[in-house]
């Protein structure tokens, strides 16, 4: 049975639940909700397992805070003996419009501390990542409060449909592979 680690990045704590930076958690929560799964606290994160057509998806929400996400991801990849090409990291991205999906086989951290941590601990940046656009609607010097801020009203209205699309993309990644998923979901 093929195994995958789907890691949604975010910060633990009630004050972060509805922030833009926590979109990775939100996407995994949506998948868990749709499939009737519940997360359990485990080493370095909250975990649940999802079986999909002969594949096992381990959904991970690191509890290490964003800046140490790599620690949890490295631990679960090693523990479950999952190859790095079967890792998908779901994270927020300021450089793409709200709700837009961009999946890539590798890339830079783009200044994102969660991705920096993963790159340091894996020793390279050759791992699939799923970037969910949160746009850059903030004034100069306001980046941190924007990223850690709550969704605006218009975003909240559009978010459920975007979360459903994100869940479809994760399923596609495990069933159809990276190339197909990129051509079917990128920019959508």
Q: Among the options 6, 7, 9, 21, which is catalytic?
A: 21
30 and 76 in contact (C-beta within 8 Å)? no
Closest among 166, 37, 10 to 92, alpha carbons compared: 10
Dihedral, 181, 171, 59, 187 alpha carbons, nearest 10: 40
Q: How many whole angstroms separate alpha carbon 188 and alpha carbon 177?
A: 17
H or E stretch covering 67: none
69 and 62 in contact (C-beta within 8 Å)? yes
SS3 55: strand
Q: Is 21 a catalytic residue?
A: yes
- What is the CA 168 to chain-centroid distance, rounded? 13
131 and 114 in contact (C-beta within 8 Å)? no
Catalytic residues, by residue number, are 21
């Amino acid at each position: 049975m093929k195994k995958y680690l789907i890691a949604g990045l975010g910060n633990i704590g009630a004050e972060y639940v509805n922030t833009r930076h926590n979109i990775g958690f939100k996407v995994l929560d949506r998948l868990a909700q749709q499939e009737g799964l519940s997360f359990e606290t485990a080493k370095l994160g909250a975990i649940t397992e999802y079986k999909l057509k002969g594949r096992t998806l381990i959904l991970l929400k690191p509890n290490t805070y964003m800046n140490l996400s790599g620690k949890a991801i490295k631990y679960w990849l090693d523990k479950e003996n999952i190859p790095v090409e079967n890792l998908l990291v779901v994270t927020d991205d300021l450089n793409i419009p709200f709700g837009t999906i961009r999946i890539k086989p590798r890339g830079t951290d783009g200044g994102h501390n969660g991705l920096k941590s993963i790159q340091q601990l894996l020793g390279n940046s050759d791992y699939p990542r799923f970037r969910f656009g949160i746009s850059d609607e903030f004034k100069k010097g306001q980046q941190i409060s924007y990223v850690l801020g709550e969704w605006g009203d218009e975003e909240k209205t559009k978010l459920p449909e975007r979360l459903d699309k994100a869940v479809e993309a994760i399923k596609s990644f495990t069933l159809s592979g990276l190339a197909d998923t990129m051509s079917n979901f990128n920019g959508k």
